[in-house]
Structure 1
């Protein structure tokens, strides 16, 4: 993991944070772009599909029929070309992020979680598959970053009266109990 350009040996997930989620602002200043600004937790008040006046990534997805949230009729004024270009912008941003995290060339599986996981194309370039777990919409970036995905035991074991395999099995069981 690099931190400020310095290679470290810390045990932590290697993450890239991009300003893209369901509340990301969609703008069209000649070329459509999405994010990094966001309405955040105000999505139910500010997004078009909920009667607000701010176009978000969620509105684009609803207008394109990718997800059913809020009132689709409130997205009728979104230009289909703008929606298509904004969605393409999102997919490029996601694909570039996947490529930056790869440790070897080729396609990798992607697990899409969080409220904006519906924004990820099922055939996102650089991925072998896009997995959206059941109830994955309630996950978030911080939760994914701090989730316990393994266990660790750091202690000295005696091999007197036992063998290496038994000690390793005991350490595995202890590590599982800690997670």
Structure 2
């Protein structure tokens, strides 16, 4: 399977996705100084994508997922772990960037180079002529086509109470 056949799969996936809900893409921008006073970081919008597990499918590309943050207003509180503090800071940065409270935004995503799949590019790889996706860091590879169709079905018809 070549990069052109992977591209063809992605075109078919976009057609199947149609009006399925998209999620926001953002980029963390560290605050600049204004008159010597540092401004707080914010997450600025960078488009939308369909979230299909470890992949984010845009209108013209595919990205590897990074972190997912839910926008929340900044509040002072104590944290048991530094990771909780960092998540709260990112949630506040999303709110400062204009993401409505409670909405999610993807940050830290990485574009996947479809022409470099022979050597593996993020979660996608081609082995023995077959396009594969690694659905978790500890998990194995599965055929990309089956993965896409399963994820699209879940996105379009989520399980009750999901």
Greater Rg, structure 1 or structure 2? 1
State the TM bucket, normalised to the shorter chain.
under 0.3
Structure with greater strand share of residues:
2
TM-score by length of 1: 0.22
Give the TM-score normalised by the residue count of structure 2: 0.23
